[in-house]
Amino acid sequence: MITTTDLTKVYRSRGREVVALDGVSIHVRPGEVYGVIGRSGAGKSTLIRCLNLLERPTSGTVTVDGLDLTALAGRGNRAGRPLRRARGGIGMIFQHFNLLSSRTVRGNVELPLEILGLGRRERARKALDLLDLVGLADKARAYPAQLSGGQKQRVGIARALAGDPKVLLSDEATSALDPETTRSVLGLLRDLNRDLGLTVLLITHEMDVVKAVCDSAALMEHGRVIESGAVSDLLATPGSRLARELFPLGGGSENDGPTTVADITFHGDSAARPVISRLARTHGIDISILGAAMDTVGGRQVGRMRVELPGGPDQTAAALAFLREQGLTVEIPDPGTLTERLTGEGAR
Ligand SMILES: Nc1ncnc2c1ncn2[C@@H]1O[C@H](COP(=O)(O)OP(=O)(O)O)[C@@H](O)[C@H]1O
Ligand SMILES: [Mg+2]
């Protein structure tokens, strides 16, 4: 539904160049909820603005629902109308809702319908239908100032759906909301995704959002996508940064004496618990499980486990060798990454 190839965006201001996007290629399948995560300044908002050509990419292409938007945008005024029509198939919601305070709720939802050229009666009917869809039929005559944050975002969603889009883009749409309101807005997005077959691309810095609603996710850093994939596969991907962000395994040791912390990735060919207990038995050691994130995908157990192995270097090497012989991927995490999180940088 959305494909970008080698998308770059370079901002030039006062002789300085900022490479905001540096060769971004993503694929979003029809009907999926796709999350883009990354620290502040990673290029997430630039990417989303390039997807509907609010921002002109410096190079690369954006294809939405089979239409090459970059080609439509390329040819001056003559191409203005096709691009505008293509944009109509893409709805967008924002962190700060961007509602017009002088208009009623219904008036806000009617705005894009006016631009589309619908008549008065048709506009009113459609706006009321959309407000019903987002659970706000009784607020049609209210003004934005009379609404809670969650209600404002529902109006934003109704407005974004006015052009019957196939794609909804969301830039931190729940970041200004409390956790409970966030849950209900995400629930609404999930319902719309399921009931209307709407493809959703959302930007967030909250891992809980990704876990709650996303089918796939991409991690951005310095204008690049450094990892992407189906959320259900990430757990079984050795060394996955996204898995580490999404399913943190907790801290380090509380034991006396020499110990080694190891992260084990289970791909599904060997179940977790028997291997750990066999290791404990055959090597006569007490293994502490510091954290685990497990799931069953296609009938196989996948996931990650952080364990603490007691003993000196020789004993540790033997234990690691045993685990690797069982077909597991074992990594010794860098102590600096044990507590590092994407959200730890004051993104809130
Ligand atoms: N209009 C602009 N002019 C110049 N630089 C910009 C502009 N918009 C964003 N940037 C820069 O591009 C980089 C990526 O920004 P942005 O896409 O907003 O990141 P994110 O949404 O991940 O926080 C940052 O370094 C930011 O300062
Ligand atoms: Mg941003």
The domain spans of the chain are 2-235, 247-343
Task: Give dist(CA 118, CA 88) in Å, integer.
Answer: 14
- The CATH code belonging to domain 247-343 is 3.30.70.260
Does the pLDDT value for residue 76 go beyond 60?
no
Residue 63 corresponds to which tokens in the numbers above? 């294809």
Please tell me the distance between residue 40's alpha carbon and the centre of ligand 2 in angstroms. 7
What burial letters (b/e) apply to 132-145, b meaning 16+ CB within 10 Å? ebbebeebbeebbe
Q: What is the mean pLDDT of residues 322-347?
A: 71
- Name which of 187, 166, 184, 196 is nearest 63 in CA terms: 166
Q: Per the structure block, which two tokens stand in for 270?
A: 């060997």
pLDDT, tens digit, for every residue of 91-113?
999 999 999 999 999 999 999 99
Q: Sign of the C-alpha dihedral, residues 87, 88, 93, 99?
A: positive
Structure tokens at 28: 């979003």
The answer to whether 130 and 158 have CB atoms below 8 angstroms apart is yes
All residues at 6 or more sequence positions from 264 whose CB lies less than 8 Å from its CB, including other chains: 272, 304, 305, 306, 307, 323, 328, 329, 330
Q: Which of 269, 252, 277 is nearest to 332 (CA)?
A: 252
List the residue whose alpha carbon is closest to atom 1 of ligand 1. Answer: 11
pLDDT confidence tier of residue 272, bands split at 50, 70 and 90: low
pLDDT tops 90 at residue 8: yes
Q: Ligand 1: which of 9, 12, 24, 45 to mutate, most ligand atoms within 8 Å of CB? A: 45
Residue 77 scores a pLDDT above 50: no
- Least confident among 3-12, 114-123, 316-325, 338-347: 338-347
Report the pLDDT value the prediction gives residue 345, as an integer from 0 to 100: 44
pLDDT in tens, 131-145: 999 999 999 999 999
What is the average pLDDT value for the chain, to the nearest integer?
88
Identify the weakest region by mean pLDDT among 6-20, 221-235, 333-347: 333-347
Per-residue tokens: 193: 């995704």
Q: Residue 12, exposed/middle/buried by CB under 10 A (0-12, 13-18, 19+)?
A: exposed
Mean pLDDT score, 249-277: 76
With vertex at residue 64, the alpha carbon angle to CA 59 and CA 68, rounded to the nearest 5 degrees, is 50
Would you identify the CATH topology of the domain 2-235?
Rossmann fold (3.40.50)
| CA-CA-CA-CA dihedral for 320, 323, 326, 328, to nearest 10 | -100
> How would residue 274 be classed by pLDDT, with cut points 50, 70 and 90?
confident
**CB of 156 closer than 8 Å to CB of 173:** yes
Q: Which distant-in-sequence residues (6+ apart) come within 8 Å of 195 by Cβ?
A: none
Q: pLDDT, tens digit, for every residue of 145-161?
A: 999 999 999 999 999 99
Residue 347 pLDDT exceeds 50: no
Ligand nearest to C-alpha 42: 1
Q: Is 41 in the pocket of ligand 1 (CB under 6 A)?
A: yes
Asked whether the predicted pLDDT for residue 339 surpasses 90, the reply is no
CA of 7 to the centre of ligand 1 (A): 15
Check whether 56 has a pLDDT greater than 60.
yes
CA distance 283 to 315: 8
pLDDT over threshold 90, residue 220: yes
Closest atom of ligand 1 to CA, residue 39: 22
Is residue 74 pLDDT above 80, yes or no? no
Query: Which ligand is the nearest neighbour of the Cα of 47?
Result: 1
**So what's the pLDDT on residue 14?**
87
CA distances from 8 to 55, 59, 201, 217, 285 (A): 11, 5, 19, 20, 53
Return the percentage of the chain with pLDDT > 90, whole number. Answer: 57
Higher pLDDT, 144 or 243: 144
CB 235 within 8 A of CB 243: yes
Question: Which residue's alpha carbon is at the smallest distance from atom 8 of ligand 1?
Answer: 46
Backbone angles phi, psi at 58, to 5 degrees: -75, -40
The torsion region of residue 263 among left (phi > 0), alpha (psi -120 to 50) and beta comes to beta
pLDDT band (50, 70, 90) for residue 344: very low
